[in-house]
Amino acid sequence: MTGKVATEKSLFIKMIVLVMALTMLVGCSMFKQSDESDENNGAQSDSEQKIVRYTGEQSKVISSVYTAKKELTLTFNGMGDEATMKRLLDELDAAQIKATFFLPGMRVAEEPNIAKEILSRGHEIENNTLNQLDISKLSYEQIYKEIHLSNQVMKKELGIDPRFVRTKSGDYTDDVRLVAAQLGMNAVVSYTINPKDSDMKDAKAIGAYVEKYLSRGGIITLNTDINPEVIPSIGHIAKAAADIGYKLVPLSQLVKDGGERKPLEQIPGYDAAKVNLEYANSKYNLIYNVETNKKQVALTFDDWGTDKTVTKILDILAEHDVVATFFLRAKGVENNPNLARAMVEAGHDVANHTYSHTVVTKMTPEELQQDVVKAHQVITEAIQQQPVMLFRPPTGEMDDRTGKVIAAIGYPNIAMYDVTTLDWDVKNSAADIVNGVMEQTKGGSVILLHMLDDIHTIEALPTVLERLKSKGYTFVKMADMIKR
């Protein structure tokens, strides 16, 4: 095809799409479902008649993917000019990242060669609507046309059928979900990590933001046509992911590798903890250690941390073939359920450390029970199974009334500890932590460490494990040690 013919073709397509868009904006109807069957399966007629509102089930929304795998996805919105997109694609190649591009149909019609280059480099292309308009201000019919026309352009120019749709902002309405379902698309896609690169001054700041919120199953969103610093930020993002062993994969692979989370009420044991204010005669056990002749110890971790911190702990435990018990602050779990699931899939136990991490002796019975029950439910839904029925109070504070209140919920076994090094205090060095553990540990001990960020526990952990093993100690999960 000569350059002149190619130019004429591009201008022709652009004119056609512009006419479609203008028609849409003035509210002129272009499509109608051909019959009742078409209404159910999403097929559309090209006759100039009114679109019928879909009455079936809404499309699902994906803001993250449920998975314990060390995977997440990098996505882009919009389509910059040819020079910008080439630099971006070169940067992705250098970092060996395959990404997912949400492109506006209008831009694909204007410069299809850019979109074709994206595909030829091994990336995915999905639907960013036709013109990236403010969906909240559009009627159902206009939303339908924004998504449908963009799909048509991509089919004509690229030979692809987009499976996912994202609006310019990532926000969505019920109408967007209905339209996606009506068109037979897989999902409406939002995001987990949005550094708002339009407000970021430099690549390092963008990379640092993404690094802070990296998570398994996460969806990162960046823009191709707003801030040129997005391009050099790719190297920072790639390094941050590599530092904790995470792989950036296309959205379709992330979804394929992930699973579906069952609703809470479908998980056995979700109601094993219940509010019960008749606690006066409840019995509880404070378990500091276990009397045993065996050289067994239970290694436990409290609270919560970022993916970077917790994954490093999990990697160290795996390297040393050690199992542990994690007492989780459920408010953190709620924001990152995949990390809790990763603990379980690695062979560890997870247990209850309250939702809000408040000192339990300072709470009313009602407040305490509601908090602990909420934590139980959050953890159960995150790991998709009942957690180990052990409860550990924040700061270790406990009194008789509080013990009874907690036992009445369904947690009679209150997991304390006999080995603590105050590792939560950044002033305590790795050497302090190692020495403290070695001085206090004996057969049947329960060792308390923390999974907080910016403390020295990760530095100390390999040495702790090696030295305890060298003295003949073996590691068991706390619930298993109690049973023995």
- The tens digit of pLDDT for each residue in 48-96 reads 558 899 999 999 999 999 999 999 999 999 999 999 999 999 999 999 9
Q: Which of 440, 374, 436 is nearest to 409 (CA)?
A: 374
Distance CA 401, CA 279 (A): 9
Cα angle 65, 61, 177 (rounded to 5 degrees) comes to: 165
Of 228, 257, 286, the last residue of a domain is 257
- Count the domains in the chain: 2
What Rg value do the Cα atoms of the chain yield, rounded?
Answer: 27
Residues 390 and 465 in one domain: yes
Asked, for residue 8, whether it belongs to a domain, the answer is no
Among 241, 257, 273, the domain boundary falls at 257
Q: Give the pLDDT confidence score for residue 50 in this predicted structure.
A: 82
CA angle 273, 276, 280 (to 5 degrees): 125
- Say if residue 401 is in the same domain as residue 477: yes
pLDDT of residue 399: 97
Check: pTM over 0.85? Answer yes or no: yes
The DSSP symbol for 157 reads: H
CA within 13 Å, CB half, 324: 26
Determine the structural domain holding residue 190 and report its residue range. Answer: 58-257
Q: Both 285 and 233 in a single domain?
A: no
DSSP state, 289?
A: B
183 and 206 inside one domain: yes
Q: What pairing do the DSSP bridges indicate for beta strands 124-127 and 100-103?
A: parallel
pLDDT at 16: 56
Amino acid 18: pLDDT: 55
Whether residues 272 and 388 share a domain: the answer is yes
Helix (H) or strand (E) holding 15: helix 3-25
Whether 456 maps to a domain, the answer reads: yes
Distance CA 63, CA 338 (A): 13
Domain boundary among 257, 277, 299: 257
Cβ neighbors of 420 (< 8 A, separation 6 or more) are 396, 436, 440, 448
Q: What is the pLDDT of residues 426-448, one digit of tens each?
A: 999 999 999 999 999 999 999 99
Structural domain contains residue 30: no
Give the amino acid at 474: T
Q: Are residues 280 and 380 in the same domain?
A: yes
pLDDT of residue 13: 55
Local structure of 298: helix, strand or coil: strand
Residues 194 and 98 in one domain: yes
Which pLDDT belongs to residue 170? 95
CATH number at residue 344: 3.20.20.370
Q: Is residue 22 part of a domain?
A: no
- Are both 292 and 424 inside the same structural domain? yes
Say which residues have a Cβ less than 8 Å from residue 243's Cβ, sequence separation at least 6.
Answer: 308
Q: Which of 188, 4, 48, 20 is nearest to 106 (CA)?
A: 20
Position 17 scores a pLDDT of 54
Is the residue at 300 inside a domain? Answer: yes
Compute the distance between CA of residue 178 and CA of residue 311 in angstroms, rounded to an integer.
38
Residue 143 pairs with which residues in a beta bridge? none
pLDDT, position 200: 86
* pLDDT (0 to 100) of residue 270: 97
Asked whether residue 45 is assigned to any structural domain, the reply reads no
**Which stretches of the chain score pLDDT less than 50?**
1-6, 22-47
39 falls within a domain: no
pLDDT of residue 49: 57
Q: Are residues 111 and 207 in the same domain?
A: yes
Are 390 and 308 in a shared domain? yes
Q: Which pair of tokens denotes residue 174?
A: 């019920």
Inter-CA distances, 282 with 78, 84, 175, Å: 60, 67, 51
Secondary element (H or E) of residue 223:
strand 219-223
Which residues on neighbouring strands pair with residue 299, listed in sequence order?
447
Pick left, alpha or beta for residue 217 (phi over 0 → left; psi -120 to 50 → alpha; otherwise beta). left
- Please tell me whether residues 158 and 81 are part of one structural domain: yes
Residue 210 domain-assigned? yes
Phi first, then psi, for residue 272 (nearest 5°) are -70, -20
312/341 same-domain check: yes
